[in-house]
C-alpha cells in the first residue's frame, strides 16, 4: 500500500493534480487526498483550486459539479460507475407542473442530483447550508428535490416557508431505523446521537445533533461527551477516531455503507492519474444551466 501511495503522490506532482475526497470513501483513499470534506466544502475547493486537474474521489454528481464550477479544469473520476442513486430521484415533469401550480416557486435542489435536475432549479444546497439558504430565499413556496428527508428537516427548521417535499431518499441513511437506534442507545446509554439529515424523521427525533458529515465531525470534537452513536455512512469514523483519542464512536447498525463510495480504490486513483482516464464531460448548454444554481449556492451558503 505504501508503494501505491508513493506512486500517487509522485504522479500528482508530475501531472499538476489535486485530489479531493469525500468522508465516505475508503480510509486509505482519504489518506492520499489533499482535501477531505463534506459536499459543500469540496465544491468550494473545486471552484478555487489552482491545479489544472482535479481527481474527485466521490460519486458522479460530485465530479460533475466540480466540472460545472470549473469548466477549464480536467476532472477525473477514479470510478466512473460510482453514482448516487438519490441523484436521479426527481422527475422533470413534476418540477414543471410545480412551477405552473405556484407562481413564486423556488426549486431548491440538493447537490446530490444530476446536472439535468440542477438546470431546472433555482439554487443548490448541501446538508450543511440548506436551512440557511432556504431561509434566505425571498420565495414563500419551495419545491425541495430530490431528498424528502433533508427537505422535511429543512421544512421543520424554516416553518415560515411552504416547503413541498419530493419522495427521493438515500438508501444508505433510510435503512437506519428508530428501532436499531433505540437498541444502540440501550447498549450505550451515555452516548450522544449524531445524525445526518438524510436519515428518516423517527431517527432524527431521537438525535442530539443533526448535521452534515463535517458538522458531525466538528460537533464530536467540541463535545464534552465521551461516547457517540453515529447515524451516517461509516467512512466518517476514520476522521472521528483520528481526531478524538479517548472518545468512542458506535454505528447504529451493522452495515451502514455506501457501496458506490467504496468502489474507489488506491489502484483506481493511480490509474486515472497515470492515464487520464474517466474524464468528466458536460455539454456547454447543460453546464450553463446547472452552473446558475450551483453558483447561487456558493454565494448564499458562504
Ligand atoms: P455531506 O458530506 O454534505 O454531509 O453529504 C453526505 C452525502 O450523502 C454525500 O453523498
Ligand atoms: Fe448517495 Fe447516500 Fe451514497 Fe451519499 S451515502 S452518495 S446520498 S447513496
Contact of 250 with 40, CB cutoff 8 Å: no
Instruction: Among 260, 263, 264, say which to mutate for ligand 2: greatest number of ligand atoms within 8 Å of CB.
Output: 260
The reply to whether ligand 2 has any atom less than 6 angstroms from the CB of 233 is yes
pLDDT at 257: 97
Ligand 1, atom 1: nearest CA belongs to which residue?
Answer: 38
Closest listed ligand to the CA of 264:
2
Return the ligand number nearest the Cα of 37: 1
CB of 66 within 8 A of CB of 20? yes
pLDDT at 67: 97
Q: Ligand 2 in contact with 112 (CB < 6 A)? A: yes
Indicate the pLDDT class of residue 103, thresholds 50, 70 and 90: confident
Burial 42-80 (b: 16+ CB within 10 A, else e): bbbbbbebebebbbbbbbbbbbbbbbbbbeebbbbbbbb
Give dist(CA 110, CA 160) in Å, integer. Answer: 20
Q: How far apart are alpha carbons 209 and 251 in whole angstroms?
A: 15
pLDDT of residue 4: 95
Q: Is the pLDDT of residue 142 over 90?
A: yes
- pLDDT per residue as tens digits for the range 154-191: 999 999 999 999 999 999 999 999 999 999 999 999 99
Grid coordinates of 165? 417535499
Per DSSP bridges, beta strands 74-76 and 141-145 are unpaired
Ligand 2 neighbourhood includes 203 CB (under 6 angstroms)? no
* Ligand 1 nearest atom to the CA of residue 128, by list position: 3
pLDDT on residue 201: 98
Q: Give the mean pLDDT of 224-246.
A: 97
Residue closest via CA to ligand 2's atom 1 equals: 84
Q: How does DSSP assign 163-198, residue by residue?
A: EEE--B--HHHHT--HHHHHHHHHHSTT-EEEE-TT
Atom of ligand 1 nearest to the CA of 212: 4
Residue 31 reports pLDDT greater than 90: yes
Name the 3-class secondary structure at 83. coil
pLDDT surpassing 90 at residue 147: yes
- b/e for 96-108, b at 16 or more Cβ within 10 A? eebeeebeebbbb
Residue 77 has pLDDT above 90, yes or no: yes
CB-CB contact of 11 with 270 (8 Å): yes
Instruction: Identify the pLDDT of residue 302.
Output: 81
Residue 262 has pLDDT above 90, yes or no: yes
In this prediction, residue 236 carries a pLDDT of 97
Question: Average per-residue pLDDT in the chain?
Answer: 97
**Cell digits for 233?**
455512512
Which of 131, 196, 209 has most ligand 1 atoms within 8 Å of CB, for mutation? 196
- Which ligand is in closest contact with the Cα of 127? 1
pLDDT recorded at residue 7: 97
CA–centroid distance, residue 146 to ligand 2 (Å): 12
Mean pLDDT of 221-243: 98
In this prediction, residue 1 carries a pLDDT of: 84
Find the ligand nearest to 233 CA: 2
Q: Three-state SS for 133?
A: helix
Distance from residue 150's CA to the centre of ligand 2 (Å)? 12
On the CB side of 62, how many CA atoms lie within 13 Å of its CA? 34
Question: Of 89, 54, 22, nearest to 258 (Cα)?
Answer: 22
Nearest to 118 by CA among 66, 57, 78, 169: 66
Nearest to 204 by CA among 255, 254, 155, 257: 155
Residue 209 clears pLDDT 90, i.e. is over it: yes
* DSSP E strands, the chain: 17-22, 35-37, 53-57, 74-76, 106-110, 123-125, 141-145, 162-165, 192-195, 209-210, 227-231, 248-251
Nearest-angstrom CA–CA distance, 215 and 57: 20
Ligand closest to CA 197: 1
Give residue 14 CA to ligand 1 midpoint distance, Å.
31
User: Which residues lie with the beta carbon below 6 Å from any ligand 1 atom?
Assistant: 38-40, 84, 112, 126-128, 170, 196, 198, 212-213
- Residue 143, SS3 per DSSP: strand
Confidence of residue 228 (pLDDT cuts 50, 70, 90): very high
Return the CA Rg of the chain.
Answer: 19
Amino acid at each position: 500500500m505504501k508503494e501505491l501511495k508513493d506512486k500517487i503522490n509522485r504522479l500528482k506532482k508530475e501531472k499538476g493534480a489535486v485530489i479531493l475526497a469525500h468522508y465516505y470513501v475508503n480510509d486509505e483513499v482519504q489518506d492520499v487526498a489533499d482535501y477531505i470534506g463534506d459536499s459543500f466544502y469540496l465544491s468550494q475547493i473545486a471552484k478555487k483550486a489552482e491545479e489544472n486537474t482535479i481527481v474527485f474521489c466521490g460519486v458522479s454528481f460530485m465530479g460533475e459539479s466540480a466540472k460545472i464550477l470549473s469548466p477549464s479544469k480536467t476532472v477525473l473520476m477514479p470510478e466512473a460507475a460510482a453514482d448516487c442513486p438519490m441523484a436521479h430521484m426527481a422527475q422533470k415533469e413534476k418540477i414543471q407542473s410545480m412551477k405552473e401550480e405556484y407562481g413564486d416557486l423556488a426549486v431548491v435542489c440538493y447537490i446530490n442530483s444530476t446536472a439535468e435536475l440542477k438546470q431546472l432549479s433555482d439554487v443548490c444546497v448541501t446538508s450543511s447550508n440548506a436551512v440557511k439558504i432556504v431561509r434566505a430565499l425571498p420565495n414563500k413556496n419551495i419545491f425541495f428535490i430530490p431528498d424528502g428527508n433533508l427537505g422535511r428537516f429543512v421544512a421543520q427548521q424554516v416553518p415560515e416557508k411552504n416547503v413541498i417535499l419530493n419522495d427521493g431518499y438515500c438508501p444508505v441513511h433510510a435503512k437506519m431505523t428508530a428501532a436499531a437506534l433505540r437498541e444502540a442507545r440501550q447498549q450505550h446509554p451515555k452516548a450522544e446521537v449524531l445524525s445526518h439529515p438524510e436519515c428518516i424523521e423517527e431517527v432524527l427525533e431521537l438525535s442530539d445533533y443533526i448535521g452534515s458529515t463535517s458538522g458531525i465531525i466538528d460537533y464530536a470534537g467540541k463535545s464534552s461527551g465521551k461516547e457517540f452513536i453515529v447515524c451516517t455512512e461509516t467512512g466518517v469514523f476514520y476522521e472521528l477516531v483520528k481526531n478524538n483519542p479517548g472518545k468512542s464512536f458506535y454505528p447504529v447498525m451493522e452495515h451502514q455503507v455506501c457501496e458506490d463510495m467504496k468502489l474507489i480504490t488506491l489502484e483506481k486513483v493511480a490509474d486515472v492519474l497515470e492515464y487520464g482516464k474517466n474524464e468528466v464531460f458536460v455539454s456547454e448548454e447543460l453546464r450553463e444551466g446547472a452552473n446558475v444554481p450551483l453558483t447561487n449556492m456558493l454565494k448564499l451558503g458562504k
